[in-house]
Structure 1
Amino acid sequence: MQQARDLLKTVFGHDDFRPGQEEIVASVLGGDDVLAIMPTGGGKSLCYQLPALCGDGVTLVVSPLVALMNDQVAQLRQNGVEAGALTSNNDAEENERVFTALDDGSLKLLYMAPERIATSPGLLNRLKINLLAVDEAHCVSQWGHDFRPDYLEIGRLREALGGVQIAAFTATADEETRSEIISKLFSSEPRQFLRGFDRPNLFLAFEPKNNPKRQITEFVAARPDQAGIVYCSSRRKTEDLAEHLRSKGVNALPYHAGLEAERRHTNQRRFSQEDAVVMTATIAFGMGVDKPDVRFVVHADLPKTMESYYQEIGRAGRDGLPADTLCLYGVDDIKLRRRQIDEGDAPDVRKRADHQRLNALLTLAEAALCRRQTLLGYFDEAADPCGHCDLCKNPRQMFDATQASQKALSAMLRTGQIYGLEHLVSVLVGEETDRIKSQKHDQLPTFGVGTEFDKSQWRSLFRQLYAAGYANVSIAQGSWQVCEKARPVLRGEEALKLRFPDKQAERKRTSARSAPIELSNVADQELLKALKVCRTDLARQQNVPAYVIFPDRTLIEMAQHRPGTLSDMVEINGVGAKKLERYGGEFLRVISDH
């Protein structure tokens, strides 16, 4: 382990391991097969990169996306490590570099997608592969959210390579998914490291949709110097929202699979190389993002499952510094997600599991107490109230909603369970619309019985009943129906508590999200900006992501400690020997000029 510790400092510039890394590295170096579940930003890649540098031969890294592989290769090369990726995007010069390094024995890490591995048996058989590292191992699970069929072949690949040692890593895997990973990848029980799912640096927040374009614009505009991602459910929405944000002075770019390849590549490169770019994207822009200084992730629409939500917010704050998350949701989102499950080609058992995963996310969205407790509880992890989510900062007021729920459910039943939300709300508040009069619903016992709440408050209560499974919404007609679960409530046999639909409290909660998180106590913000400009220039010259030169955390530390010599600079976290040689002088000059 001493060699690993030395390399941690000289190559990567870190004085110590992050929590959980050291024992995983020790286990891999000891020859154990390993399955490690570590939160995003916990430093999974270092757990196989360090062992690769300590041993002979090649570590083969199975990774699902080209962008992710290229970023890791670029970072390793910046640190003086010979690494390469064989992908369909390589030009002839890059392929020649990789094969030359393989032939002369200097290449330490080779990255390949599972689909490419399946077509390259001859290449792999001639290499001395001493470790098979599987990144994003949850892709092996047919029950997961990022299933990749070719991941199922990795177990056979391991046997074809003579039973080579295997280390698998992922950030999101419940017990069912972990069991499937083990059965598909390992020939015997591996050493398991479950390092927890908590990302304490992420602020968790949900808000019901109420003019979502305005909500997103206010949130993003309050963070003018921060990079962020806004996830949208459709390609069109990414482009519309990016155009709207640009009209408000935000440096926003769209990203989705339907964009022409050159524009998509240009937008991704700008997001990687520049500071303060906001990407409005579908989840096609996701797993390949290795940018550590994404300061916020916004969901313009409800994600598909709890796992998807956790995976996507995990793209913020990978450097360990504070980051914000915000998820907007509404009844239409819930209807869309449920329709996608019901109309899919999956077998019934899979659909039931997908509905359960969606219901878990709805429970999080409509939670009354600490969100982190609800989120971690889903992954079977206990937690105290975090003090770092919207509900801890502004606790929600609960009330006995039994009578209000009876009124809402009765309105559904007495109108024949064939009407939509707005009609039902109008009945409850006693609004004499033409449709209500024509259907004689103004003569129903439920007409006007809900004047204690206004229409927006009733919408909130209906949404909570839907999320909690007391009501259903027809996919085809949008009509509301009473679920069997609601019968005891209607009969007065069961009391029901819901969140009080207090508009003032919601405004207070929204207001609490309006201020961007302070990242550091750097007194000289102008110096920090100058260091970032220097970093951006170097990144453009080399056509690499800016964080490959130095991450924000390193620049912040430079601005705080203002090193005056190369000897001082080497004490800065993230400055290894190779980067000190390459960039130390340039960043010292920037500091000296300020």
Structure 2
Amino acid sequence: SFDRPNIYYEVRPKHKGSYGELLQFLREQPESSVIVYCQSRKGVDELSFALAHDGIRALPYHAGLTSEQRSENQERFIRDDVPVLVATIAFGMGIGKPDVRAVIHFDLPRNLEGYYQESGRAGRDGLPAQCILFFNYGDRVKVEYIIAQKTGEHEQILAYQQLQQVLAYGDSTACRRRALLAYFGETLHQNCGNCDNCLRTVIMEDRTIDAQKFLSCVARTKERFGMGYIIEVLRGAKTKKIRDYGHDQLSTYGIGRDLSVEEWQHLGRSLLRQGLLSESTETGYSILRLNALSREILRKQRDVVIEALPQSLQNSLARSSRAASVTPGLAPEEVGLFQHLRHLRKQLADEQGVPPYIIFTDATLRAMAQQRPQSSSQFAQISGIGSRKLEAYYIPFTREIRAYCEMHDLSMGLSPEPAAKKEAASASTTGPAVPSLTRQITLQMYQDGQSIEDIARERNLKPSTIISHLAELIEAGEAIDVSALIQPGHYEGIHDALQQVNDEALKPVKELLGDAYSYEEIRLVKALLRQRA
């Protein structure tokens, strides 16, 4: 499945204050790993420079850097030397770090498939993560310029359709997750409850009079202009273009000074979304056109009710910080211990020359902060700690835990939460069999963020064997995120092929699908379908 329940999706309006919002977001969680995507190399350089100037440890990542610079910047990000990496859209896809807490698109993505892949860099450790898109219709010009550089007419048409899908997603008031999954052919039968649209309080308001002003202005300018120009006329802008066209003499000139640009944009997009206004792009530019419903509004035969524009982003900002935090549900003293353990992990990782998540994942550190193990047996019971890590890290981590607990007068050796114990007991009695040791090792290494090739090399096994381990674990009921191992769009194709062939063997399915699909993908999709059955 393409569903990532731990990711919180949000779209924010992009405006002059958006950089300040980004800065506030990063300052509220200075230790969290964040990837920020921009459309161009210039945008990456300017944003990373501005963030660094404002005290955020951020590095750029794009094709214009030398391979040595890119490798160094990525390595510093992976090793937690810097918390923020600013990358160009698409080029930052090679960044492999399981504990990225937020992915932020500061520019418009080119298509939903790329947006899903890029946002999928967040929360690969299964802990809460955040994906924010700063959305502005004006950014479409940058994407349209890129589309115009394409040589084939069919390629341009397809790219433009994909851009329209991104614009519809950004402007939607429906569940974000349902929209993304629908793009990949999956159906979510209920709202996710973990996106901005699902969590916000919707207030509806009658904006019929303002809509009549807007549509009247479209009519009086002969339906020849886009939204930005219409809003300038409504707000009485003193521009040469307006004077040259004589639109400063219209009755609608300046009648909308009481509303901000953002309020007029919100109304205009709402009219488009409800089909009360049409848009033409035949000339390569957005032109607003009246339709039958528009004329009903002008004749006072139809009212216009839209969602109110939020007056403040404070609730959104607070919600985003919680969503991207890895410590929700922890008591204040547990949060403090968690941060101490993260610093110890970083110190050990630097000494060993490995990324911190190779030592322990954030999920394992979180469990340590909650249970505060004292003995080796208690330490070994925590998820993510095998015999090798028990031997290597038991002493330094329990020493850190003991020192912190003594300083803050905390008890040690606590049992896991009752719900977790109950779930574990239920699984042991009624669930699938406990996976073998070799599969458990594969699972731990995969959840530690290692690639299939790295796991195979370290364990002296074939990559196909590692894939088989994961598939067998999925069939046994393990919740494993393998979306990164299945190319976008392939899940649905394999699903259909498996239904057509109806054969246990993989070869007939592979022959039906062709060389674009791998045996590994087929094996994993088959396991996911069996798990759901």
Q: Please give the secondary structure, in 2, of the residue aligned with 1:382.
A: coil
State whether structure 2 residue 181 is matched by structure 1 residue 376. yes
Note the C-alpha offset of 1:233: 0.8
**Match of 1:585?**
395
**Match of 2:368?**
558
State whether structure 2 residue 18 is matched by structure 1 residue 208. no
Q: 2:345 aligns with which of 535, 538, 541?
A: 535
**Match of 1:169?**
none
Note the C-alpha offset of 1:341: 2.8
Q: 1:364 aligns with which of 169, 174, 177?
A: 169
Q: 1:502 aligns with which of 303, 309, 315?
A: 309
Note the C-alpha offset of 1:435: 4.8
Given that 2:106 and 2:133 are in contact with CA atoms closer than 8 Å, whether structure 1 keeps it comes out as yes
Note the C-alpha offset of 1:306: 1.3
User: Which letter does structure 2 place at the counterpart of 1:199?
Assistant: R
Note the C-alpha offset of 1:338: 3.3
Please list the CA deviations of residues 281-303 of structure 1 after superposition, one character each: whole Å capped at 9, or x if unmatched: 11355332331111111110111
Q: 2:2 aligns with which of 190, 193, 197?
A: 197
Note closer, same or farther for the CA distance 1:408–1:334 as it changes in structure 2 (3 Å cut): farther
Note closer, same or farther for the CA distance 1:528–1:435 as it changes in structure 2 (3 Å cut): same
Note the C-alpha offset of 1:385: 2.3
Given that 1:255 and 1:280 are in contact with CA atoms closer than 8 Å, whether structure 2 keeps it comes out as yes
Q: Please give the secondary structure, in 1, of the residue aligned with 2:78.
A: helix
Given that 2:98 and 2:124 are in contact with CA atoms closer than 8 Å, whether structure 1 keeps it comes out as yes
Q: Please give the secondary structure, in 1, of the residue aligned with 2:101.
A: strand
Note closer, same or farther for the CA distance 1:400–1:533 as it changes in structure 2 (3 Å cut): same
User: Which letter does structure 2 place at the counterpart of 1:517?
Assistant: S
Note the C-alpha offset of 1:453: 3.4
- Partners of 1:589 and 1:510 in 2: CA distance: 37
Query: Which aligned pairs between 1:62-141 and structure 2 lie closer than 5 A?
Result: none
State whether structure 2 residue 358 is matched by structure 1 residue 548. yes
Q: CA RMSD in A?
A: 3.2
Given that 1:330 and 1:463 are in contact with CA atoms closer than 8 Å, whether structure 2 keeps it comes out as no
Query: Which aligned pairs between 1:304-453 and structure 2 lie closer than 5 A?
Result: 304-348=110-154, 350-379=155-184, 380-398=186-204, 404=210, 407-412=213-218, 414-415=220-221, 421-431=227-237, 435-450=241-256, 453=259
Given that 1:406 and 1:489 are in contact with CA atoms closer than 8 Å, whether structure 2 keeps it comes out as no
Q: Please give the secondary structure, in 1, of the residue aligned with 2:94.
A: coil
Note closer, same or farther for the CA distance 1:437–1:341 as it changes in structure 2 (3 Å cut): closer
Q: Is 355-364 or 289-298 further displaced after alignment? A: 355-364
Note closer, same or farther for the CA distance 1:221–1:498 as it changes in structure 2 (3 Å cut): farther
**Match of 1:470?**
278
**Match of 2:108?**
302
Note closer, same or farther for the CA distance 1:208–1:466 as it changes in structure 2 (3 Å cut): farther
- Partners of 1:230 and 1:309 in 2: CA distance: 12
**Match of 1:517?**
325
Given that 1:292 and 1:547 are in contact with CA atoms closer than 8 Å, whether structure 2 keeps it comes out as yes
Please list the CA deviations of residues 145-176 of structure 1 after superposition, one character each: whole Å capped at 9, or x if unmatched: xxxxxxxxxxxxxxxxxxxxxxxxxxxxxxxx
- Partners of 2:157 and 2:92 in 1: CA distance: 26
User: Which letter does structure 1 place at the counterpart of 2:69?
Assistant: R
Query: Which aligned pairs between 1:143-162 and structure 2 lie closer than 5 A?
Result: none
Tell me the TM-score normalized by structure 1: 0.59
Note closer, same or farther for the CA distance 1:496–1:250 as it changes in structure 2 (3 Å cut): farther
Note the C-alpha offset of 1:368: 1.7
Note the C-alpha offset of 1:257: 1.4
Q: Please give the secondary structure, in 1, of the residue aligned with 2:150.
A: coil
Unpaired segments of 5 or more residues in structure 1?
Answer: 1-195
- Partners of 1:533 and 1:323 in 2: CA distance: 21
Note the C-alpha offset of 1:457: 1.1
Given that 1:331 and 1:463 are in contact with CA atoms closer than 8 Å, whether structure 2 keeps it comes out as no
Q: Please give the secondary structure, in 2, of the residue aligned with 1:286.
A: helix
Note closer, same or farther for the CA distance 1:354–1:432 as it changes in structure 2 (3 Å cut): closer
Q: Please give the secondary structure, in 2, of the residue aligned with 1:335.
A: helix
Q: Which protein has the bigger helix share?
A: 2
- Partners of 1:297 and 1:571 in 2: CA distance: 32
- Percent identity for Structure 1 against Structure 2: 36
Q: Is 503-512 or 264-273 further displaced after alignment? A: 503-512
- Partners of 2:136 and 2:211 in 1: CA distance: 19
User: Which letter does structure 2 place at the counterpart of 1:354?
Assistant: A
Tell me the TM-score normalized by structure 2: 0.66
Given that 1:372 and 1:383 are in contact with CA atoms closer than 8 Å, whether structure 2 keeps it comes out as no
Q: Please give the secondary structure, in 2, of the residue aligned with 1:482.
A: strand
Q: 2:293 aligns with which of 485, 489, 504?
A: 489
Unpaired segments of 5 or more residues in structure 2?
Answer: 405-533
Note closer, same or farther for the CA distance 1:503–1:570 as it changes in structure 2 (3 Å cut): closer
Note the C-alpha offset of 1:489: 3.1
Q: 2:74 aligns with which of 268, 271, 275?
A: 268
**Match of 1:108?**
none
* Number of residue pairs aligned between Structure 1 and Structure 2: 394
Q: 1:291 aligns with which of 97, 111, 115?
A: 97
